[in-house]
Amino acid sequence: MLRWTCCLCTVGQVVHTLPEDKPVHGVASIGDKVYVLRSKGRDQVEVYDANTYRFRRSLTVQDLCGFIDMTSCELHRCMYIANHIADCVHRLNVDGVATRWDVNDKPSGLSVNAAHNVLVTCREVREIKEFSSLGKLLRELTLPGDVINPWHAIQLASGQLIVCHGRLSDAVHRVCKISVDGRDIVHSHGGQRGSDTAQYSVPRHLAVDDNELVLVADVENRRVTLLSPTLDYMRQVVPRDKLKWCPRRLHLDTQRRRLYVVENELKQDKYTAGRVVVFSV
């Protein structure tokens, strides 16, 4: 247990808040830069210094709309942006060069695995699609039948998957560890929707540290929960009183021990503003 808790041992403390502006749909980092994805017609990706948090520049992806998540790859020095209107993934290099490939289903979440491939979670068809960095489809994995409306998946070094699932109208809201072949649930945390420590209300996004501790953005409960590698409850890393709005995306910088939490304001079923809060962990 001590090995598990050495990195994420306390409740996170706010160290910085990036500017409040248009809604945010993703945050990622590469080297000494932080990238923030916003709802804009151009200059959608804002670039900040990871140490000083000073704004550096913006990157534009032409005809980018309907974006829903972003992740990054240190090896290829690029970001991947999910587009749920065009059913595609955009690859954006740090120098601003953008390409794209078709997913042929609506993506809901992105992550990069140890092989530097891109995992695309497709909520409506309950599948995880694995693509190469250049967009070649490598495999499709159908999730177990009781994993309804999966939002995001991260692959562990073992090949197992951590998946969060559950829309507001669903009966079950959980985080699951899925077998390598995708057929079985090995561990799970959650169940009926609620606000107790063993419950979630729309577990929307995940982050996993080097010791396989799992962080969960619990949207409606407005908190970030920490789970052990076997998905046992440990603590709230970001409790409700540390956030202004609902957390929707996470990014963990293990080198700097910084957790980036995307939170957006929702008014009359429309996102009107967003920001990224940086926590020490």
Cβ neighbours around 99 below 10 Å, total: 13
Question: What residue type is assigned to position 257 of the chain?
Answer: R
DSSP label of 21: B
| Cβ-based neighbours of 70, under 8 Å, separated by 6 or more | 25, 26, 27, 28, 35, 37, 45, 79, 80, 81, 82, 110, 249
Ranked by mean pLDDT, which of 61-75, 103-117, 254-268 comes out on top?
103-117
User: What does the block give as tokens for 5?
Assistant: 């808790």
- Condensed to tens digits (0 to 9), the pLDDT of residues 197-215 reads 999 999 999 999 999 999 9
DSSP label of 19: P
Instruction: Determine the average pLDDT of the residues in 83-90.
Output: 95
CA dist 242 and 228 (Å) reads 22
- Condensed to tens digits (0 to 9), the pLDDT of residues 6-34 reads 455 567 799 999 999 999 999 999 999 99
Angle (CA) 263-266-269 rounded to 5° is 140
With CA atoms as reference, report the closest residue to 185 among 219, 150, 140. Answer: 150
Tally the domains of the chain. 1
What pTM value is reported for the model?
A: 0.94
6: in domain: no
83: in domain: yes
Could you tell me the pLDDT band of residue 2, with boundaries at 50, 70 and 90? very low
12: in domain: no
Instruction: Determine the average pLDDT of the residues in 61-72.
Output: 88
Q: 161 with 182: CB under 8 angstroms?
A: yes
14: in domain: no
pLDDT at 5: 44
269: in domain: yes
63: in domain: yes
pLDDT at 222: 97
Cβ neighbours around 174 below 10 Å, total: 25
- Condensed to tens digits (0 to 9), the pLDDT of residues 139-159 reads 999 999 999 999 999 999 999
- C-alpha atoms less than 13 angstroms from C-alpha of 3 in its C-beta half-sphere: 4
267: in domain: yes
- Residue 181 above 80 pLDDT? yes
For the ranges 5-19, 44-58, 118-132, 174-188, which has the lowest average pLDDT?
5-19
CATH number at residue 117: 2.120.10.30
Cα distances (Å, whole numbers) of residue 86 to 105, 107, 173, 243: 9, 10, 28, 32
Could you tell me the pLDDT band of residue 267, with boundaries at 50, 70 and 90? confident
Could you tell me the pLDDT band of residue 42, with boundaries at 50, 70 and 90? confident
User: What does the block give as tokens for 84?
Assistant: 């749920």
Residue 231 lies in domain: 24-280
The DSSP-derived string for 159-170 is S-EEEEE--TT-
CA dist 101 and 86 (Å) reads 10
86: in domain: yes
